[in-house]
Structure 1
Amino acid sequence: MRSIGEMARHSGLSVSALRFYDGAGVFGPAWVDPQSGYRWYAEEQLRDARLIARLRRVGMPLPDISRVLSADPAVARQTLDTHLRRLEDGLSDARRELSTVRALLDQREHPMNQTRLTTPAHELAAALDAVRFAVGSNPEQPALCGVLLELASDGLRLVATDRYRLAVSLAPATALDGPPVSAIAATAFVDEVRALLDGAEDALLTVDGDLLTLTVTGDEREVTGRRVGQDYPDYRPMLRLEPTRRLAVDAAELRAELSAGATRSLTRSQDGVEQQVSVLTVGTDGALGVADEEGAAGEALRIGVNREFLLEAITAGRRDQLTLELGGPVAPLAIRYPDREGTFSLLMPTVLS
């Protein structure tokens, strides 16, 4: 048997860390002295302690560490892969943020307040259509009453959310002049821009300080507006959700089934708004359905979702085929478009009583 001090010296975990993992129910001693409360560890526990120390160094969350220790090898490896993807995504975010910081530092040294991005007009129109439905309308949250525009070398990313749903789309850039920049465009500006795009060839978006300008080529029509002076909530953690099921669905069939199917009238706890909730089911055979009854045999998953929100998300993409990603009854539902990478929406589920 090893004392807690010996285990700490040989495992790479501190004494306080060993006590923490014991209290959390992840890794406990083989025996606790009933008189002194002193912890003693079996020799064979050293291997798991060293494993925990390595997982701790790479920032693995406690539930995942527990899963690696207790699950079969296939699940443990899947947990490692998921955490590695999460780290890689975080590194990509860090690189992006540091790139923006460098650009801001360069701009401070050599002031250049203007960024110009050109994108095909039809691509911008499709991106706006894909996110417009998710824009918030609560005047007490002005940052959400508009669309976040992120101008970067890979394109113009548009983000909209009212905190109950999130929509993201990417319009490719054919040219970028100036440092990466982000700005919140008010709903009125967004709608005026959309009205200009039909039939146009290219769209030029200019961010010049607080001024936003969208110009279409050809007749040089333009819309101007002021950026919303608010900070947009960090949406990127929502992009790293790990679904457990991916289902290919026909948009028209799902829309018809939702429209004809039964709903439940439930009150949203956050704001007291009454909503009509559809219950999606996934059978043990992987088939998606809309439930009419409280429950049925052969269901592997049930998830409640605001019917109006889901119908709007299906319609927004204007696609015949969709991919639905589900992570469980309390995980967001993702709607993706197989032919438009970087465009998708997330709907928060409604807890079914």
Structure 2
Amino acid sequence: MTTVNEEPTALLSIGEFAQRSGLSISALRFYGDCGLLVPARIDGSSGYRYYEAHQLREATLLRHLRALEMPIAEIQSFLTADPAAARAALDSYWKRLEQRFDRSRSAFAAVQLLLSSKEEAMPATTTLDGSELARALRQVLPAAGPIGKEPRYPAAVLIDLREDGVRLVATDGHRLAVRDLPSSTLDLGRTAIDAAEAERLASMAEDAGPITLSAGSELAVRASSVSVSFPAVSDHYPDYEAILARCGSSRLLVRTADLGARLDRNRDLVVLKLAGTATSSDGVAFPATYEGDDLTVGFNPSFLADALAAGIGPEAILQRGSPIDPVAIRSADGGTLTCLVMPIRLKD
């Protein structure tokens, strides 16, 4: 910036520059004082500010960045960055804007839901990340049994809104999967939906951003501007918490890859002999640590393989009680997924 006493030529006065740039005179003075858009010249006697025509591009850019509510400090860095860095900064800021909008949209949806149900019983409601919900649904869905077959229990996924978050449960009577998702819930409630509908919900949720669930006589789902209701299954859902409580204290610690290598899905049975370590039915011992009474137990290898593939982690803990109780399979690092598999009774 140059301060002169004579009248400059080939420059735009602050009034002309304001009209052509779309910025107000007061905004131009503010941006000049904070160093964002410094006048080309200031008259030393009158204090009049003048701008060069090429500064219109910078002024227009500044106007749009402020329309995006970009903070002044970030604009200063943006305007002095090279084109590649400026593009990266803009992309990063846009992602933050989208996340903020998603949070606002979810809050708006929750308020709408509360207002619409003001005269009715308050539904159990929670909001969580859609991609996390989709992944969790697909972790438990195999335990609901093959879609279209006739399992012992209805092929369904229970969505249980609890004080500490959302719990997803699926079982076909031979195995059970439980996945916990942390979230803040409004009231408590649960709804079981058909397994095929649960897969449809997973597809809807995976790219939806924040998603709001309301459990009641049906499962109401709101994501972005889309609202969908999933009918509840009418059959009584089993008491999964009582089943979880039956897991005992005998524990097998094993790497999932080592146990998975012993499972042949083409067979109907895999037998594990547990006595300090582990040996499979083909007589091959594999690295493992077992704590409990010596035990020989049989499983459906496909059920065990599905449990390990659901996302247990690199190391698993198999925990069981009596010979007729289910075996709980959990991540050794304290993950939020638990799979239960019923053992197969072996002939003496």
Deviation at 1:111, TM superposition (A): 3.1
Instruction: Report whether the alignment pairs 1:336 with 2:341.
Output: no
Task: Please give the alpha-carbon distance, in whole angstroms, between the structure 2 residues aligned to 1:315 and 1:148.
Answer: 21
Q: Letter of the 1:182 partner, please give it.
A: R
Larger CA deviation: 302-311 vs 147-156: 147-156
Contact 1:303–1:328 (8 Å) recurs in 2: no
- Indicate the residue corresponding to 1:258 in structure 2: 263
Q: Under a length normalisation based on structure 1, what TM-score does the superposition of the two structures give?
A: 0.56
Q: Letter of the 2:222 partner, please give it.
A: T
SS at match of 2:177: strand
Deviation at 1:146, TM superposition (A): 0.7
Using the aligned pairs only, state the percent identity: 31
Q: Letter of the 1:167 partner, please give it.
A: A
For 1:193-342, list aligned pairs within 5 A.
193-207=201-215, 209-217=216-224, 220-259=225-264, 263=267, 276-283=268-275, 286-292=276-282, 300-317=294-311, 319-342=313-336
Q: Letter of the 1:350 partner, please give it.
A: I
SS at match of 1:259: coil
- Of the three residues 158, 162, 165, the one matched with 1:155 is 165
Task: Please give the alpha-carbon distance, in whole angstroms, between the structure 1 residues aligned to 2:247 and 2:143.
Answer: 22
Task: Please give the alpha-carbon distance, in whole angstroms, between the structure 1 residues aligned to 2:218 and 2:281.
Answer: 49
- Of the three residues 157, 181, 199, the one matched with 1:191 is 199
Contact 1:196–1:221 (8 Å) recurs in 2: no
Larger radius of gyration: 2
Deviation at 1:130, TM superposition (A): 2.5
Q: Letter of the 1:183 partner, please give it.
A: T
Deviation at 1:280, TM superposition (A): 1.1
Quickly say closer, same or farther: Cα 1:242–1:226, change in 2 above 3 A: closer
Deviation at 1:118, TM superposition (A): 0.7
Contact 1:142–1:230 (8 Å) recurs in 2: no
Contact 1:281–1:289 (8 Å) recurs in 2: yes
Q: Any idea what the Cα deviations from partners look like across 1:237-266, whole Å, max 9, x if unmatched?
A: 112124242222211221112139x95xxx
Contact 2:312–2:330 (8 Å) recurs in 1: no
Deviation at 1:293, TM superposition (A): 5.3
Deviation at 1:222, TM superposition (A): 4.8
Q: Pairwise CA RMSD of aligned residues?
A: 3.0
Instruction: Report whether the alignment pairs 1:171 with 2:171.
Output: no
Deviation at 1:300, TM superposition (A): 2.5
- Indicate the residue corresponding to 1:32 in structure 2: none
**Structure 2 unaligned residues grouped into runs of 5+:** 1-117, 285-292
**Structure 1 unaligned residues grouped into runs of 5+:** 1-108, 264-275
Deviation at 1:327, TM superposition (A): 2.8
Contact 1:143–1:228 (8 Å) recurs in 2: no
SS at match of 1:313: helix
SS at match of 2:261: helix
Instruction: Report whether the alignment pairs 1:119 with 2:124.
Output: no
Task: Please give the alpha-carbon distance, in whole angstroms, between the structure 2 residues aligned to 1:304 and 1:149.
Answer: 31
Q: Letter of the 2:326 partner, please give it.
A: P
Task: Please give the alpha-carbon distance, in whole angstroms, between the structure 2 residues aligned to 1:222 and 1:205.
Answer: 10
Q: Under a length normalisation based on structure 2, what TM-score does the superposition of the two structures give?
A: 0.56
- Indicate the residue corresponding to 1:72 in structure 2: none
Deviation at 1:336, TM superposition (A): 0.5
Task: Please give the alpha-carbon distance, in whole angstroms, between the structure 2 residues aligned to 1:118 and 1:197.
Answer: 12
Q: Letter of the 1:233 partner, please give it.
A: P
Task: Please give the alpha-carbon distance, in whole angstroms, between the structure 2 residues aligned to 1:337 and 1:312.
Answer: 14
Task: Please give the alpha-carbon distance, in whole angstroms, between the structure 2 residues aligned to 1:153 and 1:326.
Answer: 27
Quickly say closer, same or farther: Cα 1:224–1:344, change in 2 above 3 A: same
Q: Letter of the 1:213 partner, please give it.
A: A
Task: Please give the alpha-carbon distance, in whole angstroms, between the structure 2 residues aligned to 1:304 and 1:112.
Answer: 48
Quickly say closer, same or farther: Cα 1:141–1:245, change in 2 above 3 A: closer
Q: Letter of the 2:135 partner, please give it.
A: A
Q: Letter of the 1:186 partner, please give it.
A: D
Task: Please give the alpha-carbon distance, in whole angstroms, between the structure 2 residues aligned to 1:349 and 1:323.
Answer: 16
Task: Please give the alpha-carbon distance, in whole angstroms, between the structure 2 residues aligned to 1:118 and 1:345.
Answer: 25
Structure 1 runs of 4+ with >6 Å offset: 138-142
